[in-house]
A = this chain, B = another copy of it.
Amino acid sequence: MKIAIDAMGGDNAPDAIVAGTVLAARENPAVTLVLVGDENAIKRCLGQDAPRNIEVVHTTEVIEAEDEPVRAVRRKKDASMVVAARMVKEGQADGVVSAGNTGALMAAGLLVVGRIRDIDRPALASVWPTMGGKAMLVLDVGANMDAEANHLYQYALMANVYAKVVLGMPEPRIGLLNVGSEPGKGDKLRKEAYGLLENGPFRFAGNIEAREALNDRCDVLVADGFTGNNMLKLIEGFGLGLFDQLKRIFLANTLSKLAAAVLKPGLTAFKKRFDYTEYGGAPLLGIDGAVIKAHGSSNDRAFQMAITQAIRFLDGNVLEQIRTDLTKTTETV
């Protein structure tokens, strides 16, 4: 097994990326990790005693966070991310892990690696912490803006396999994000998708309202990319805003500062539970390879975690299982 690593993507690249790759290489000696990026910078980070299962491929360009995704992927042919994706396309690697520009990775997955046959649209899946402290896989959080019912069905099918194989959920409950819990609720898209999801080769848990979405009602939450992206960003913004407001209350005066100090351990643990960087990378499902997006602010541990997900993805034959489930259900859908 060989995984291409975009060494130049992310806020802490290449240092944290290389460090995380070294951790993962030591933990998985049978896996070859190929660091793709500026050779000098990578070698400086690697130092003398790099694990022998790390290789380096030199590239000269980098896709920046502010680059327009599709244009960057098309024009920067020697960008670390694009070269890593091309390695998967050409069979030189089985997967790619990047902490770089999310849109660009989605574009590289779609345009360079390509889709799984019979999957119409890839979906970006993100792991959210629930109020009960569990993990929930939410997709699509922004790969496909104009989803159709059949896309939502395919998201469910792919996420079911990923949740089982990579997240270790035995029989994931698949929920459909909707404005009401009863069947028949929602817009045209949701009404049509509901009919498809009922007949899928997975455990359909029905409609889930956003109010209940974080209360462990399902293990996989299916949404269109527009809504999923907005929900993800709303949680981020609302969470940050609330913690900011709490901080002000805590820092109001000497007494409140003392009180806050008492509560600090509990609050820190709590905030950490809602730190989305703790939950590893986001798979781009539907691409014909393991494509994992690590959080942009990944440190070495977070990036190692994203590589571990790619390894589990490949070890568990996620792609093969998706293909099998797809053929299984062609007749019913």
Tell whether A28 is near chain B: CB-to-CB under 8 Å: no
Cα(A177)–Cα(B226), bound, Å: 10
Contacts of A225 in B (CB 8 A): 179, 187
Which residue of chain B is the closest to A141 with respect to CB atoms?
Answer: B179
A211-B236, A229-B179, A259-B260 as given contacts; A242 in contact with B241, CB under 8 Å? no
Contacts of A262 in B (CB 8 A): 255-256, 258-259
Which residue of chain B is the closest to A190 with respect to CB atoms?
Answer: B226
Tell whether A209 is near chain B: CB-to-CB under 8 Å: yes
A249-B267, A262-B258 as given contacts; A214 in contact with B226, CB under 8 Å? no
Cα(A36)–Cα(B165), bound, Å: 59
Which of A187, A190, A213, A260 has the most C-beta atoms of chain B within 10 angstroms of its own C-beta?
A187
Which residue of chain B is the closest to A252 with respect to CB atoms?
Answer: B266
Contact B227 A213 (CB under 8 A): no
A131-B244, A227-B227, A266-B252 as given contacts; A210 in contact with B233, CB under 8 Å? yes
Contacts of A246 in B (CB 8 A): 270
Contact B263 A187 (CB under 8 A): no
Chain B nearest CB from A175 CB (Å) reads 13
Tell whether A146 is near chain B: CB-to-CB under 8 Å: yes
Contacts of A187 in B (CB 8 A): 145-146, 225-226
Contact B215 A179 (CB under 8 A): no
Tell whether A142 is near chain B: CB-to-CB under 8 Å: yes
Tell whether A51 is near chain B: CB-to-CB under 8 Å: no
In A200-220, which residues have CB < 8 Å from any B CB?
209-215
Which residue of chain B is the closest to A182 with respect to CB atoms?
Answer: B68
Contacts of A227 in B (CB 8 A): 226-227, 230
A238-B238, A266-B256 as given contacts; A210 in contact with B231, CB under 8 Å? yes
Contacts of A188 in B (CB 8 A): 145-146
In A256-298, which residues have CB < 8 Å from any B CB?
256, 258-260, 262-263, 266-267, 270
Cα(A256)–Cα(B210), bound, Å: 32
Interface residues, chain A, CB within 8 Å of chain B?
Answer: 131, 142, 145-146, 177, 179, 186-188, 190, 209-215, 225-227, 229-239, 241-242, 244-246, 249-250, 252, 255-256, 258-260, 262-263, 266-267, 270
* Besides A230-B231, A258-B259, A260-B263, 9 other A-B contacts (C-beta < 8 A): A179-B229, A190-B226, A210-B230, A211-B233, A211-B236, A213-B234, A230-B230, A256-B266, A259-B263
